[in-house]
């Protein structure tokens, strides 16, 4: 079900119209809208409705001196975020895609990301595994170890 509902907000007029107007094929239309207007209405709409985006999980910190902090993402959304990053790498650069592409892209901007340490650790583990071991082994690991263990934890009532 999670896969079927992935990014359904892209069919809203707010996001769809930006995609049509700014489509270029080799990068996100949101970047073109951002360059044109100074912000992107589609992204602001999208990140607030899709839990697989780390920006959905940013909130005010409660500790003294904290401003905005990353909340820990549920594992299923970290996995979805990983898959989203791989798909974007394949979509925007099909001729040059390798299993290292999503990791390379992540590393270029990782210092800007506000992310909970546990979320960051899992995402980086999956990106690194993909880069070193390939899709088959990484997706098998996700199914058999990450998601399978998560279901056991969820059904026992513990987290």
Read off the tokens for 52.
């697989």
Task: Please give the C-alpha separations between residue 137 and each of 71, 94, 151, 152, in angstroms, as whole numbers.
Answer: 29, 21, 20, 21
All structural domains of the chain with their residue ranges: 1-50, 59-159
pLDDT digits (tens, 9 = 90+) for 2-61: 766 777 888 899 999 999 999 998 888 999 999 999 999 999 999 999 999 999 999 999
Residues 21 and 125: their CA atoms lie apart, in Å, by 36
> 5, 50 in Cβ contact below 8 A?
no
One-character DSSP codes across 80-122:
HHHHHHHHHHHHH-TTT--TTHHHHHHHHHGGG----HHHHHH
pTM assigned to the model: 0.83
Helix (H, G, I), strand (E, B) or coil at 23: coil
pLDDT digits (tens, 9 = 90+) for 78-117: 999 999 999 999 998 899 999 999 999 999 999 999 999 9
């Amino acid at each position: 079900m999670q896969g079927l509902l992935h990014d359904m907000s892209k069919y809203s007029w707010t996001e769809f119209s930006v995609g049509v107007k700014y489509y270029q094929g080799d990068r996100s239309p949101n970047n073109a809208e951002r360059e044109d207007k100074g912000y992107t209405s589609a992204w602001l709409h999208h990140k607030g409705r899709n839990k697989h985006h780390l920006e959905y999980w940013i909130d005010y910190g409660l500790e003294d001196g904290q401003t905005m902090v990353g909340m820990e993402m549920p594992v299923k959304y970290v996995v979805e975020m990983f898959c989203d990053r791989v798909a974007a790498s394949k979509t925007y650069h099909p001729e040059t895609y390798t299993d290292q592409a999503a990791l390379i892209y992540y590393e270029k901007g990782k210092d800007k990301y506000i992310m909970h340490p546990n979320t960051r650790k899992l995402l980086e583990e999956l990106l690194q595994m993909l880069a070193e071991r390939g899709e088959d082994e990484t997706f098998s690991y996700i199914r058999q170890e990450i998601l399978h263990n998560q279901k056991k934890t969820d059904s026992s009532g513990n987290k």
